[in-house]
Amino acid sequence: MFVRFEAHRYSDRCCPTTQTPARGTRTLMTTTHADYRLSQLDQLEAESIHIFREVAAEFEKPVLMFSGGKDSIVMLRLAEKAFFPAKIPFPVLQIDTGLDFPEVLTTRDNWVNRLGVRLVVASIDDAIANGVVVDDGKTSRNRMQTATLLNAIEENGFTAAFGGGRRDEEKARAKERVYSHRDEFGQWDPKMQRPELWSLYNGRIHAGEHMRIFPISNWTELDVWDYLGREGIEIPDIYFSHQRRVFVRDGMLMSETPLNPLREGEVVEERTVRFRTCGDITLTGCVESTASTIPEIIDEVAIATLTERGATRGDDRFSEAAMEDRKKEGYF
């Protein structure tokens, strides 16, 4: 409520039905303003939509890296809103390890078909067959994603690639900017990052270079779940509590599957679990949980002391700097 005193001169012409006040009289005027402040979730959404629109206007051939997991689904939803009622003006790219959860691939296909976007699949099997990646029998398929991704970006001429990385996930991602420059070899140099003062982004690149864009960098895992609950959008069933045959490996509960043979001493048992993140089925662990709805998951995440990657991703446990080393090589 704002109260403003103003001096006005009236005439019979402008106010024919009111009594003209004496000259110099101060008239009390009141104006009521609605509260236009956005919630935290609305602010995050607006920031992300702004980033999508900036990239679409600035870069010639952007692409959205889409795995079918919760973060990439949130990104796709934000892209849908950013350009509605038009279609999303860039394709989505998936790196197929051959070891993805079937539920995740089903969700991916449902989203692609509903939105009518073009899906580009870069297969590690094809990369091995074409000599892009060498399978020495020791390197995990998760690590083979890097060369497969860089080859797909080069072959298709993509100049910007949206990723679902968030600062709260891992310390290497915490130091990365929204616009993350990649050189002609697809590599990231954390010491050569560009300033982003006042949310102004520098997207200038030379031939052969590209940008990685992280529209939900400022979101947390809790923000993602709040948004999924508010929007009521489809995500893979494995994020919710279910019965699964699992075994313990390196302190994580791993799924029983022919793709992940048991080692000596490992015992399979059925437990009530859910997944906090979706990746390579041979390296992604689950957590014991009875949370079968999004509100229950939000309550669970709110008191969690480890991020989803720290708790359930074996590929981040190879070394203390495993994620940063991979990012420097060109990982997501």
| pLDDT score recorded for residue 31 | 57
Number of domains in the chain: 3
Same domain as 285, residue 197: no
Pair (62, 150) in one structural domain: yes
Stronger pLDDT, 305 or 183, i.e. the higher one: 183
Query: What gap in Å lies between CA 48 and CA 68, rounded to an integer?
Result: 19
Structure tokens at 179: 């616009």
Question: In this predicted model, which residue has the larger pLDDT, 142 or 61?
Answer: 61
- Say if residues 162 and 213 touch (Cβ distance below 8 Å): yes
Within 10 Å of residue 278's Cβ, how many Cβ atoms? 25
Task: Pick 142 or 180 by higher pLDDT.
Answer: 180
Q: Say yes or no to pLDDT of 91 above 90.
A: yes
- Considering the domain boundaries, does residue 226 fall inside one? no
User: What CATH code is carried by the domain that includes residue 46?
Assistant: 3.40.50.620
> To the nearest whole percent, how much of the chain has pLDDT over 70?
82
Q: State yes or no: pLDDT of 79 exceeds 60.
A: yes
Residues 6+ apart with CB under 8 A from 7: 24, 25, 26, 27
pLDDT of 316 higher than 80: no
At 246 the pLDDT is: 95
Q: Is residue 233 part of a domain?
A: no
CA atoms of 311 and 291, how far apart (whole Å)? 17
Which of the two residues, 14 and 220, has the higher pLDDT score?
A: 220
pLDDT at 50: 97
Assign 192 a pLDDT band (cuts: 50, 70, 90).
Answer: confident
**Per-residue pLDDT tens for 237-257?**
999 999 999 999 988 899 999
Contact 96, 151 (CB under 8 A): no
Whether 135 and 195 share a structural domain: yes
Is the pLDDT at 32 greater than 60? The verdict is no
Instruction: Report the relative pairing of strands 62-65 and 119-123 from DSSP bridges.
Output: unpaired
Q: Is residue 227 part of a domain?
A: no
Q: Which domain holds residue 295?
A: 238-316
* 8 Å CB contact between 266 and 257: no
pLDDT 10s digits, 278-287? 888 888 889 9
What pLDDT shows up at residue 235?
96
Average pLDDT of the chain to the nearest whole number: 84
List own/partner pairs for 86-90 with CB under 8 A and 24 or more apart. 87/115, 87/116, 87/117, 88/64, 88/115, 88/117, 89/56, 90/56, 90/61, 90/62, 90/63, 90/64
Output the pTM of the full model: 0.82
